[in-house]
Amino acid sequence: MAFSKTFPKTIPGSNYPQWEEVFLSQQEEEQVEEDCRKENFQLLDDCLREAKALAIKHAVNSEDNVARIAIALFEKRASHLVFWKESKAKEKFDEGNK
């Protein structure tokens, strides 16, 4: 099933927007998913390195603590796939309504 997102389109002379639904093609959706995976992989890698440094600095350097710190950092920083898809749909909407 294709990803879709609805955006308000301003109509001159009307107080109410017209809602326009934007669909991502299968190729666009797959590209966004791949970009998201790559970004989150890099982000998790960065979080693991920072968690190790924090664990050493604060003398809580067990593997379990490092993993918990890394997960907490990742959850705070990670963007979710739906956000990425919505961003791509908004980009398509904006391009079509210039």
Summary mean pLDDT of the chain: 89
- Non-local (6+) Cβ contacts of 56 within 8 A are none
Return the structure tokens found at 18: 């017209």
pLDDT of res. 23:
94
Q: What are the pLDDT digits (tens) for 29-72?
A: 999 999 988 988 999 999 999 999 988 898 887 888 888 888 88
pLDDT of res. 22:
95
